[in-house]
Amino acid sequence: MSQPRVLDGLVMPAVLQLAQARLDTTFKIKVYPRRYMAVRLSRGAFDIGISTTPVPAENVDALPFSRGAICAILRREHRFAGRAVLDPMELAGEPCIALDETTAIRRLTDQRHPMIAEKLGVTHEVSSTDTAIQMVRAGMGFTLIDPTGMAPDQLGAVSVVPLTPRTEIEIDIFLPRTAHVHTARAPFIRVLREIELPGLTKIVR
């Protein structure tokens, strides 16, 4: 079970890698917005769930997985491409493709960087990270997201620069409390932990 925003960057690469290593593994992948994840997770009809937090689910164990840094997503030709870190105010005056206020990324960015939307100005506003990335690639501006929602082909097509001060969103793995544990669960978690993305810090406990 997956939240949509981590499907392309984390879940599907892990699924494809495990499928190649264990040819007999079958998958049933269900994708739900985070606002529905708590109810779905609490029902327990899954082997593993992955989502950004918080998800106030019952009857599950939350395993801290990673912290993803909010980054500036820029065209590869951008003058700040290749920078180690970037103060978002350095982008003032450039077209800003902002996620709307219903998204966790936008709320977190607004909290960490007060008045950032007003200071940068919002040229375009979208509700999907995939839409924002497509607009960046088309030369319509920059966006501020964390790269866990980006498919591998998207990562190769843009420049990803972490913001300063560092702003992070946490991602957890959710496990049902059940006596029956699928034999592929542990291998899948190991594969997830091997995935490397810009700005992603693994939490090992």
pLDDT tens for 63-88 read 999 988 899 999 999 999 989 999 99
How far is residue 149's CA from residue 162's CA, in Å, rounded to a whole number?
15
Domain ranges of the chain: 4-67+169-202, 71-162
- Write down the pTM of the prediction: 0.82
How far is residue 123's CA from residue 142's CA, in Å, rounded to a whole number?
10
User: In the predicted model, is pLDDT for residue 47 greater than 60?
Assistant: yes
CATH number of the domain located at residue range(s) 71-162 in this protein: 3.40.190.10
**Topology (CATH level 3) of domain 4-67+169-202:** D-Maltodextrin-Binding Protein; domain 2 (3.40.190)
Query: Does the fold of domain 71-162 match that of domain 4-67+169-202?
Result: yes
Tell me, what's the pLDDT at 78? 96
Q: Where are the alpha helices (DSSP H) in 47-200?
A: 104-112, 116-120, 129-137, 152-155, 185-194
Contact between 190 and 181 (Cβ < 8 Å)? no
